[in-house]
């Protein structure tokens, strides 16, 4: 039987766009300040999960909700289960949007809105891929489980809870990365580095009162702000700094307080080179001022060890693997308040050949002068790799080649997807090689043509893997 997968997708395009618009309209970023018993991660993640499950109920699939933290849409029967892992949460919108971030806008061939690329757009594409297989009545020998988490962008509480109560699929993929396939993912750890020796400072003409930057541990900070008390005029120096560097900024001064803001470019922390870290640029400017002892030490160490050093080269943690590539180190959250112990959070993504313990030890030795205390996040992940010889990888690459006419190849990324939850788990789409990666950025979008193409790929992939 010959199936025109693209035609099947085209027939469902209006419904797909309507469902995507409904999901985009929900701000599903994790909201720990407003949790309840029925909304353990905030109302947004819960509401997005309930909405996507309602699609499955509407269309006659079997669904299951696990404590408003995770959910499943299921079809078929069999001893084995194919799992497709997606997520309904998004990172905060942030600044710099030219459209409403939580309204789906179609413009110049783009579908714009927070989550269109990561991961609501791919989730809808995978769902309609499954729906096409069901609507066509194609024979399957395995169960297909489309599983949704609600905090993939933070602590994975949703899928952690799912694993506690549900039997995991035997193999599968996550539509949360890139085509043709991601069969390797770097290890990931968030390291909170505290500087206890900088808790107290001597008086000075200029005192750094605060230094703050960052929204999430997996986002290169777009904005950074420092508040300084004292009187000084460094307008000329600031203007010269802005002219010489790829950032913008503002300087506001009152009688005895100066507020300095730097604006850079947000990016996903798995590729910090795609962003412009506002915090390290701000530190680089402040390091030349006559600040108090603790304040100057804090901004100077940021400049010396973290500025333009996204491979960890100044921390003695740089490492490269022939298959998995470079270690990346992105400082993403900064907290300095005069009189308190300051810190920063470093997001590290590392290949095979090095481990978190070695990374921590090397940073401690490098920053020994500051007697740093380093705490690793409980949500840390080791490197994950599935051989290209595995039938799962071979089948997915074959489908990609059939639907695109392009050669498939293996790849490794710094991102952490739900694909690593399974020993035989990979990430598969939905970003195409030739399309710019704007995940976590302002004006996030997916190309409409790519959205439809990915759906056809997912439909055939589900059939080939579960038949």
Is 15 considered catalytic here?
Answer: no
Marked catalytic residue, from 27, 47, 89, 274: 89
Question: DSSP of 237-267, one letter per residue?
Answer: HHHHHHHHSS-EEEEEE-SSEEEEEEE-B--
Element (H, E) at 279: helix 278-286
Cα–Cα distances (Å) from 127 to 145, 310, 363, 411, 454, in that order, read 10, 36, 44, 24, 11
CA–centroid distance for 59 within its chain: 30
Under 8 Å CB-to-CB from 43, ≥6 apart: which residues? Answer: 31, 34, 36
337: helix, coil or strand?
A: strand
CA–centroid distance for 303 within its chain: 25
Element (H, E) at 47: helix 43-58
CB-based contact 414:328 (threshold 8 Å): yes
Marked catalytic residue, from 119, 151, 152, 310: 152
Q: Retrieve residue 252's tokens.
A: 């506001």
Is 89 considered catalytic here?
Answer: yes
Cα–Cα distances (Å) from 373 to 196, 337, 343, 344, 347, in that order, read 8, 17, 9, 11, 16
Would you put residue 440 in left (φ > 0), alpha (ψ -120 to 50) or beta? left
The dihedral sign for the CA sequence 127, 121, 388, 384: negative
> In whole angstroms, how large is the CA radius of gyration of the chain?
24
Q: Taking the CB of residue 107, how many other CB atoms lie within 10 A of it?
A: 12
Kindly list the catalytic residues: 89, 152
């Amino acid at each position: 039987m010959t199936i025109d997968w693209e035609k099947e997708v085209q027939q469902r395009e209006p419904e797909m766009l309507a469902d995507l618009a409904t999901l985009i309209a929900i701000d599903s970023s994790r909201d720990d300040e407003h949790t309840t018993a029925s909304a353990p991660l905030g109302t947004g993640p819960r509401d997005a999960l309930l909405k996507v499950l309602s699609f499955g109920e509407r269309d006659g699939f079997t669904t299951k909700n696990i404590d408003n933290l995770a959910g499943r849409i299921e079809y078929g029967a069999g001893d084995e289960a194919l799992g497709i892992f997606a997520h309904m949460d998004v990172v905060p919108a942030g600044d710099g949007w030219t459209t409403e971030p939580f309204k789906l806008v179609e413009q110049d061939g783009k579908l714009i809105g927070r989550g269109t690329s990561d991961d609501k757009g791919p989730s809808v594409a995978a769902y309609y891929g499954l729906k096409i297989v069901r609507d066509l009545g194609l024979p399957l020998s395995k169960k297909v489980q489309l599983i949704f988490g609600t905090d993939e962008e933070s602590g994975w509480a949703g899928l952690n809870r799912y694993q506690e109560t549900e039997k995991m699929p035997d193999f599968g993929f996550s539509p949360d990365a890139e085509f043709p396939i991601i069969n390797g993912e770097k290890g990931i750890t968030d390291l909170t580095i505290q500087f206890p020796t900088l808790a107290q400072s001597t008086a000075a003409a200029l005192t750094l009162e605060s230094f703050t930057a960052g929204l999430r541990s997996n986002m290169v900070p777009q904005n950074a702000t420092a508040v300084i008390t004292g009187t000084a005029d460094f307008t000329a120096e600031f203007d010269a700094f802005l002219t010489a560097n790829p950032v913008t900024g503002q300087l506001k001064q009152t009688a005895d307080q100066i507020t300095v803001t730097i604006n850079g470019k947000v990016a996903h922390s798995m590729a910090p080179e795609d962003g412009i870290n506002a915090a390290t640029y701000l530190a680089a400017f402040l390091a030349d001022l006559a600040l108090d002892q603790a304040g100057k030490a804090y901004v100077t160490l940021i400049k010396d060890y973290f500025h333009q050093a996204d491979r960890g080269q100044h921390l003695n943690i740089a490492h490269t693997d022939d298959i998995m590539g470079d270690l990346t180190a992105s400082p993403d959250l900064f907290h300095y308040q005069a009189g308190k112990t300051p810190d920063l959070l470093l997001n590290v993504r590392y290949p095979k050949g090095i481990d978190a313990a070695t990374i921590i030890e090397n940073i401690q030795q490098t920053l020994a002068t500051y007697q740093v205390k380093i705490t690793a996040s409980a949500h840390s992940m080791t490197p994950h790799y599935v051989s290209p010889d595995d039938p799962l990888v071979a089948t997915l690459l074959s489908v990609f080649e059939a639907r695109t006419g392009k050669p498939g190849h293996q790849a490794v990324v710094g991102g952490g997807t739900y694909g690593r939850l399974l020993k035989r788990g990979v990430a598969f789409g939905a970003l195409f090689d030739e399309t710019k990666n704007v995940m976590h950025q302002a004006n996030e979008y997916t190309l409409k043509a790519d959205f439809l193409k990915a759906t056809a790929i997912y439909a055939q992939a589900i059939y080939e893997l579960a038949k």
